[in-house]
Amino acid sequence: MALQLWETLKEAIVAYTGLSPATFFTLLALLVAIYHVISGLFGSSDNHQTPRNMEEMQPLAPPVQLGEITEDELKQYDGTDSKKPLLMAIKGQIYDVSQSRMFYGPGGPYALFAGKDASRALAKMSFEDKDLTGDISGLGPFELDALQDWEYKFMSKYVTVGTIKKAETDGEATGETTKAAEDIPSESSAVKSEETSTSAEAKQE
């Protein structure tokens, strides 16, 4: 019965297409393969929805606001504890990047940034240990531009959950500078106030 059907099919293929059954099936297989390659390249909306839906199926805890925390405290949010959110900072602003665990989670290509302020590394497009810091002093204009772009990307993609507390020594150093300026007797008060505002501006930068 099956053999008879096969014979009829072969005859129909020859009659309707003028091709031998072998050529016909080879062409058919090629067309299917080409279709898959092309739909994979341009991506039908269905293809894109599948992974997104899968991500949505694993519910993420809503971002928790942490306020001001130290760089040391930030380290515990590097993804090693899966119950904690995955955090990363740029210019002292901490972002919840839990939704991008594939990038920043353990084993991910950018796991080294997790739990850290990665400003310098991002500005310099560097993966070096020495650049895994929030210290952006001495960067050039292009690097600062690149960092700004990263910051915009993060601001639009992730929720800010806190800021990094400035190290105690920063405050002390500023205090000392101000005190030192006050100690100089020859300075007029006008110069003094100008200096104070300049140092405040410098600090803001």
Cβ atoms of residues 74 and 116 within 8 Å: yes
Counting residues that bind ligand HEM (by CB under 6 A) gives 10
Selected from 36, 48, 157, 203, the binder of ligand HEM by CB under 6 A is 157
Least Å distance, CB 80 to ligand HEM, is: 19
- Interactions with ligand HEM, residue window 97-156 (CB under 6 A): 97, 100, 103, 110, 121-122, 125-127
Report the C-alpha gap between 68 and 62 in whole angstroms.
Answer: 18
* Binding pattern for the stretch 38-77 against ligand HEM, x by CB under 6 A and - elsewhere: ----------------------------------------
Closest CA to 164 of 88, 76, 64: 88
Least Å distance, CB 65 to ligand HEM, is: 20
User: Between 35 and 127, whose beta carbon lies closer to ligand HEM?
Assistant: 127
Residue 99, CA distances (Å) to 58, 149, 167 in order? 10, 20, 29
Least Å distance, CB 36 to ligand HEM, is: 22
Report the C-alpha gap between 144 and 112 in whole angstroms.
Answer: 21
User: Between 13 and 158, whose beta carbon lies closer to ligand HEM?
Assistant: 158
- By beta-carbon distance, which residue lies closest to ligand HEM? 125
User: Between 126 and 160, whose beta carbon lies closer to ligand HEM?
Assistant: 126
The region that residue 133 occupies, defined by phi over 0 for left and psi between -120 and 50 for alpha, beta otherwise, is beta
DSSP output for 155-185: HHHSEEEEEEPPPHHHHHHHHHHHHHHHH-T
Give the dihedral sign, CA 78/83/84/87: positive
User: Between 126 and 163, whose beta carbon lies closer to ligand HEM?
Assistant: 126
Least Å distance, CB 160 to ligand HEM, is: 14
Report the C-alpha gap between 9 and 2 in whole angstroms.
Answer: 10
Residue 191 DSSP code: H
Which among 44-52, 95-103, 140-148, 191-199 is the span making contact with ligand HEM, rule CB under 6 A? 95-103
Residues that bind ligand HEM (CB under 6 A): 97, 100, 103, 110, 121-122, 125-127, 157
